[in-house]
Amino acid sequence: MSLSFKGHTVVVTGAGGGLGKTYSLLFASRGANVVVNDFNAAAAQKVVDEITQAGGKAVVNTSSVTDGNAVIKSALDAFGSISILINNAGILRDKGFKNMSDKEWDQITEVHLQRKQKFGRIINTASAAGLYGNFGQANYSAAKMGLVGFTKTLAFEGAKYNIKAVVIAPIAASAMTETVMPPEMLANLKPEFVAPFVAAVCHPDGPDASGRLFEVGAGFIAEVRWEQSKGAVFKTDASFTPSAVKAKWSEITDFSKPKYLKSSSEIDMKGNLQAALSAPSNPQSSPQVRFDGKTVIVTGAGAGLGRIYALMYSKLGANVVVNDVSEKGAKGVVDEIVKAGGKATTAICSAEDGETIVKAALDTFGGVHVLVANAGILRDKSFTAMSEQEWDLVLAVHLRGTYKYATAKAGITGLTRSLAIEGRKYNILANVIAPSAGTAMTETVWPQEMVNAFKPDYIAPLVGYLTSEDNATDSGCLFELSGGWIAQTRWQRSGGYGFPSSKPYTPEDVVAKWKEITIFDERATHPTTTSEAIQQMINNFENKQEDAVKAKL
């Protein structure tokens, strides 16, 4: 069966060259109407000319991908509808997600993705840098990992309308990869070895890949999913300390009995809490985890989790810089610490004003040893060697604030992994936590008994251990925790399937090999770096199965 896209209209952003061009040509060759979006008018027109000369239908749109209205108007004016959106250049939107209401989003999906006709496909483009981090790409990693969280949210929201969202992390020759990869490698990373997969998962009769993540390149395709350790449960009393976390660290990071959850709602929070309440008192490590002589900055520390962090660090001997936009809140926490015999000072400003916060630490205590970015991302411009304008420019295309909470938090994971790579040679460790606790934010969606049960106090011990000198190796890691339960979460990649690199495979080939692509058997791996992830694709360069068959004949 040949997969035809006749009657479908496909919008491809960033389609003037590379992957975008290849997507456009493939969809057009299979009957689709194509909107070729690119800021380079000449490049976009060249792609349209190639399509029309071959008998296909396509139009040019030269609007910025941030101007969704203009892009969509081109499609509606020329073809009357849209059913497939390939976000190759970033997020297509008519306004920043942080300013978009649910109603406005609903209007876009209803009109532009044929919600009434119960069909729509969205492909978002992440990258290996987003999944694993990359040196010098903190902003890019944050943006691309944010797309993973965003896509999973889209998949949940669109399910009842048959609007499906898939995210891919492709490796292909492009203007960007040409600057970092040798020609002989690029020759094996043709966009033609990515596009057929995208076409397969966009087709009405294609495999259901909604909400899922795939790495694609050089003919190799594999699915990537979250793998969660069983974790450890702690008694939620005064014995739940960073020293207790240290004592059970091997349990927290044990993946011998992993879980594979599709959403955070599958975590048995109440069951974990009950186990924690009935557990015996927690054993303590020796020597205990302490912060004597160390200075700790905690952002958003005027209340909630930040306040608990600040009080814990002070109790363990640290000097604490209490940052918050609320002067009353910050001073109140400092007063608590000082009355208990500790040392603390305030930094009244936004968490993004890193220079002011660091200055408060240096002026009062002479140094900084630990940063807990509780209120968001605290960044020092000099540390990433980029201006705020450069940071904003990348995020304007790829992330730009948050439409859904998952997007921002996933972005933090990508950012943290790049920070971990960059900080390694300076003995600077960076980790990310995904806590569930009763705070001002969760009070709006949780029943009061849950807010009371899942105290912020149960989050602080892990943070304390991770930021201590006792943790000498764990960096770039993700931990989930709530109510006395702590687990580590990491990527697991299927063994995947490698098509022969002698010629591009087809969408039909993808359908035929779907089981091999997505099965998580003994061949599954756990990449932790971009280079590890790419290696399996590089190995596929030598996959010349078809040539071998011809030689025998």
The CB-based long-range contact list for 44-50 (8 Å cut-off, 24+ gap) reads: 44/15, 44/16, 46/16, 47/15, 47/16, 47/21, 50/25
Q: State both tokens at 193.
A: 């070895």
* CATH no. of 292-368: 3.40.50.720
Q: Which of 359, 381, 405, 550 is catalytic?
A: 405
Overall average pLDDT of the 418-430 stretch: 89
Known catalytic membership, residue 161? no
Active site residue 144: yes
> What are φ and ψ of residue 249, in 5° steps?
-60, -35
- What is the pLDDT at residue 549? 34
Q: How high is the pLDDT of residue 356? A: 93
Residue 352's CB: how many other CB atoms inside 10 A? 14
Decide: 125 and 151 in contact? Cβ < 8 Å. no
Q: Which of 149-153, 344-348, 355-359 has the lowest mean pLDDT?
A: 149-153
Strand partners, 11: 35, 85
Rounded-to-integer distance, Cα 183 and Cα 264, Å = 43
Question: Which of the following is catalytic: 144, 190, 235, 248?
Answer: 144
Residues near 365 by beta carbon (within 8 Å), at least 6 away in sequence: 295, 319, 321, 343, 345
Q: Which residue has better confidence, 304 or 467?
A: 467
Neighbours of 176 (CB within 10 A): 12
pLDDT band of residue 304 (cuts 50, 70, 90) is confident
This prediction has a pTM of 0.86
- Tell me: pLDDT of 378 over 60: no
User: Mean of the pLDDT values across residues 252-262?
Assistant: 94
Q: Which two tokens stand for residue 460?
A: 């602080």
pLDDT confidence bin for 160, thresholds 50/70/90? confident
pLDDT digits (tens, 9 = 90+) for 206-242: 999 999 999 999 999 999 999 999 999 999 899 999 9
Gap between the Cα atoms of 78 and 468, Å rounded: 60
Give the dihedral sign, CA 359/360/365/369: negative
Please identify which of the residues 140, 309, 313, 505 carries the catalytic annotation.
140
Q: Are 407 and 149 in contact (CB under 8 A)?
A: yes
507-537 b/e (C-beta count within 10 Å ≥ 16 → b) = bbbbbebbebbbebeeebbebbbbeebbebb
Coil, helix or strand at residue 138: helix
Query: 25 with 17: CB under 8 angstroms?
Result: no
In a 10 Å sphere around its CB, with 0-12 CB exposed, 13-18 middle and 19+ buried, how is residue 102 labelled?
Answer: exposed
Split at pLDDT 50, 70, 90, the class of 552 is very low
- Nearest-angstrom CA–CA distance, 112 and 55: 25
* Interaxial angle between packed helices 327-339 and 304-315, expressed in degrees from 0 to 180 and rounded to the nearest 10: 20
Cα separation, 461 vs 468, in Å, equals 11
State the Cα–Cα distance between residues 67 and 96, nearest whole angstrom. 10
Length of the chain: 553
Residue 451 is predicted with a pLDDT of: 59
Residue showing tokens 């490590």: 285
The dihedral region occupied by 56, where left means phi > 0, alpha psi between -120 and 50, and beta the remainder, is: beta
Report residue 409's pLDDT band, with 50, 70 and 90 as the boundaries.
Answer: low
Average pLDDT over residues 14-24: 94
User: Average pLDDT in the 325-354 region?
Assistant: 95
The full DSSP string for 355-389 is HHHHHHHHHHHS---EEE--SS----HHHHT--HH
Highest mean pLDDT among 66-70, 130-134, 350-354, 470-474: 470-474
Known catalytic residue at 426: no
